[in-house]
Structure 1
Amino acid sequence: MSENAPDAPAEDNGGNGGGNGSGRVLNANRRRPLLTGLAIAVVVVGLLAWLYITFIGSRSVSTDNAYVAGENAEITPLTSGSVIEVAVTDTQQVKRGQVLLRLEDADQRIAVAQAEAMLALTQRRYRQSLAQGSALGASADAKDAALPAAQARLASAQADLIKAQTDYRRRAALVDGGAVSADEVTAARNALTAAQAAVQAAQAGIGQARADAISARRDETAAMALVSGTTTDTAPEVRAAQARLAQAKLDLSRTVIRAPIDGVVARRSVQVGQKIEAGNVAMVIVPVGQLYVDANFKEDQLGKVKPGQRAVLTSDFYGSGVEFHGRVVGFAGGTGAAFALIPAQNATGNWIKVVQRLPVRIALDPRELARHPLRVGLSMDAEIDLTDND
């Protein structure tokens, strides 16, 4: 008994060992199909991913980092004044040319009246200058006509002088023979002297007439220089007055501020009675019919993106049931990090590469925007068709 007692446990241990080995084999046999199935599943998933990337994913790029934007119009009065009327409110739809607000215009109306009066006065002065020029021209013509008369008087004086000289010589020759008296000789001498003086006076008269004619013609030239080659509408001083009147009327028209584009009023910051200065923003108009999307794609997505390619977009505002269609317009001049207020300092030793995003502008179809209006800042999902190379 003592010898067989140790053997029984040995047999039991051998039997248990054999049972455990059979269990391990059975478990291994059961796991093998699972591993095989898992391997097949991995291969199938990998193959499907490769097929998607090769034949579907490579045909387009997409991003959900996209937002609606637009060229907003800031309404800034070009003249200062007190607001007397605000005709619109925030969220209101307006049309181009519609009155947005009015400024008090009493000062501008007074300026227009003053400019009109100055223009009328300038035109009268111009016509007066024309009349003066004509009068001086007539005077110069009269002075010119006086010269031949002076020359005629000189010729007459010279003839009288010749006659007086002849008479004096004849009488002087006869005085010794007693044919003429001394009084006659004296009278002839006096006549000769008078004739000589008359010639000198006539010569001086010609010089004076010539000088008067030259002076009168110069006065005419000086007067006509201000109006020569011009009319009442083209004279420089008249045109300056017209410009001042046009400026006054422009300032008056600027007291009525109108919408420059169609759109929706936003950020209205002006109230009736407020004094507004020229250049201050009174409100903003968002052109909801001419919006676009800035889609921020990763830099490794843009290798095949080109301007003109078609894009399909959806908005969280309407959901995936409403699609917007557009085309790529172009790329921004730099990434958001490049234009940040504090740009990244990549030259430091703590640099970590971060995939950058570049804004891509996509123009939207105005007809679709009319059917489903968007607003600036709304989120969009954008997908660009890379196969569109038209």
Structure 2
Amino acid sequence: MENDIEQDFDLQKNKKSARVKKIIILALIFIITGLSYVIYWYTFSRFRQSTDNAYVMGNQVAIHAQIGGGVSSIYVDDNDFIQKKDVIVTLESIDAENDFGYAKNVLAKVIREVQQIKLTNEKLSASIELKKVKLEKSQKDLDRREALWLRKSISQEDIDHARQDVQIALNDLEIVTQELAINHALLMQTPLLAHPSVQQAIFKLREAWLNLKRTKIIAPVTGYISRRSVQIGEQITKGERLMIIVPLDQVWVEANFKEVQLKDIRIGQKVTLTSDYYGDNIIFNGKIAGIAMGTGSAFSLLPAQNATGNWIKVIQRLPVRIELDKEQIRVNPLRIGLSMTVNVDTRDHSGKLLTDIPARKIKYQTDVFDYDYDEFEHLIQQIMQTNLKSTPK
């Protein structure tokens, strides 16, 4: 009996000892875990700001018609890859060709008219010399008749006719002189191509020439076609949007941080990002490029009225622009609107909250609207030579 009691006592003692040992082990685990978290927070976590409220943004280059017309050909469809300067849509060109031909004829006509004025000036100059000779002859005849009139050798009618002849010759000279002055006012000693009428016709011809060129719609950037709305045979108007080109090398991430997270965020800080599209295995590198000047609600269509009586404080988010490594984007392309998880390393506080360097360089540019104006100048010279070559010198 005593042995049984001793065995029960030893068993309870062992259980109590094991329970105490387990509690000590659990306490040590909690203490080690807590210390590990404190060390991790002090060493790493406190220098990190993260958010999953981040999305891929990018330029969406809208393609608009520069002239109206019927759509005759479409070379692309949604998701197609297109190179810069490739033709993507062509418009029916008959009307543009007619306008171009009409403008050429108008310029040719104006050149001939201006040249006619120039030749008329030469004719009027010669006529003035002739009128001067006639006036001198009439004046001499009048002088002789005046002497004869004093001696009563001629009749009153003869002297009146002589005086009228002088006045007629003087008036004729004045008329031709005024006509020459009018023509000089039309020319003003300007070169042929600088004449206002010729310049006006050249501007009209350039407009028709450009409209003919614009019947071919060219891609201004390299990228992917999206949201194509134009259809074959459709009659489009000037300025109508036809489609969008998304250049995937011009994307960035817009991370919406809470305002309480922005205290240590600075421009230039390094960022690591992961995408839900690729998973955690692919990590993108980037840097802070700028912090927005207002929250999303402040720039919304109906901004919040925080001065109202039923105001409730809501933590605001501020968009932060993150530039990505272009080589990584080339290897692992991102799409606009994809979700991203952003982690910012805030150790470096040397950056600025706002940039103070004015933007002076061109960030985006295309030369698809730079037409070959040498071709147009050659056309002008050709029209001018054609309409002046038969002019007598």
TM bucket, shorter chain:
0.7 to 0.9
How far the C-alpha of 1:145 sits from its partner, in A, is 4.0
Over the matched positions of the two proteins, sequence identity in percent amounts to 37
User: Hey, what does 1:117 align to over in structure 2?
Assistant: 105
How far the C-alpha of 1:241 sits from its partner, in A, is 1.5
* 1:31-62 superposed Cα distances (whole Å, 9 cap, x missing partner): 76666666655554444444333332233322
Q: Which has the higher helix share?
A: 1
How far the C-alpha of 1:298 sits from its partner, in A, is 1.4
Unaligned runs of 5+ in 1: 1-18, 165-189
Q: 1:30 to 1:308 in 2, by over 3 A?
A: same
1:105 aligns with 2:93: yes
**TM-score (norm. length: structure 2):** 0.76
Q: Which of 275, 278, 292 matches 2:252?
A: 292
How far the C-alpha of 1:310 sits from its partner, in A, is 2.8
SS of structure 2 residue aligned to 1:289: coil
How far the C-alpha of 1:285 sits from its partner, in A, is 0.7
1:87 aligns with 2:75: yes
SS of structure 2 residue aligned to 1:226: helix
User: Hey, what does 2:374 align to over in structure 1?
Assistant: none
Query: 1:349 and 1:42 mapped to 2: Cα distance?
Result: 48
Written as runs of structure 1 = structure 2, the 5 A alignment for 1:161-172 is: 164=151
* 1:233-284 superposed Cα distances (whole Å, 9 cap, x missing partner): 1211122122222222222222211111110011122222233333332211
Query: 2:261 and 2:105 mapped to 1: Cα distance?
Result: 69
Paired residue type of 2:278:
Y
Query: 1:33 and 1:341 mapped to 2: Cα distance?
Result: 64
Written as runs of structure 1 = structure 2, the 5 A alignment for 1:24-43 is: 41-43=29-31
The answer to which of 227-236 and 148-157 deviates more is 148-157
Q: Which of 335, 342, 351 matches 2:295?
A: 335
Higher-Rg member (1/2): 1
SS of structure 2 residue aligned to 1:88: coil
1:51 aligns with 2:11: no
Query: 2:283 and 2:51 mapped to 1: Cα distance?
Result: 15
1:228 aligns with 2:188: yes
Query: 2:127 and 2:42 mapped to 1: Cα distance?
Result: 101
Unaligned runs of 5+ in 2: 1-7, 352-393
User: Hey, what does 2:220 align to over in structure 1?
Assistant: 260
How far the C-alpha of 1:345 sits from its partner, in A, is 4.2
SS of structure 2 residue aligned to 1:269: coil
How far the C-alpha of 1:376 sits from its partner, in A, is 0.9
Paired residue type of 1:68:
V
1:129 aligns with 2:84: no
1:77 aligns with 2:65: yes
Query: 2:141 and 2:191 mapped to 1: Cα distance?
Result: 43
1:305 aligns with 2:265: yes
User: Hey, what does 2:243 align to over in structure 1?
Assistant: 283
SS of structure 2 residue aligned to 1:288: coil
User: Hey, what does 2:360 align to over in structure 1?
Assistant: none
Aligned length: 343
Paired residue type of 1:64:
D
User: Hey, what does 1:325 align to over in structure 2?
Assistant: 285
How far the C-alpha of 1:380 sits from its partner, in A, is 1.6
Q: Which of 332, 347, 355 matches 2:315?
A: 355
User: Hey, what does 2:48 align to over in structure 1?
Assistant: 60
Q: 1:35 to 1:259 in 2, by over 3 A?
A: same
Q: 1:205 to 1:369 in 2, by over 3 A?
A: same
1:142 aligns with 2:142: no
How far the C-alpha of 1:365 sits from its partner, in A, is 2.5
Query: 1:110 and 1:159 mapped to 2: Cα distance?
Result: 72
**TM-score (norm. length: structure 1):** 0.76
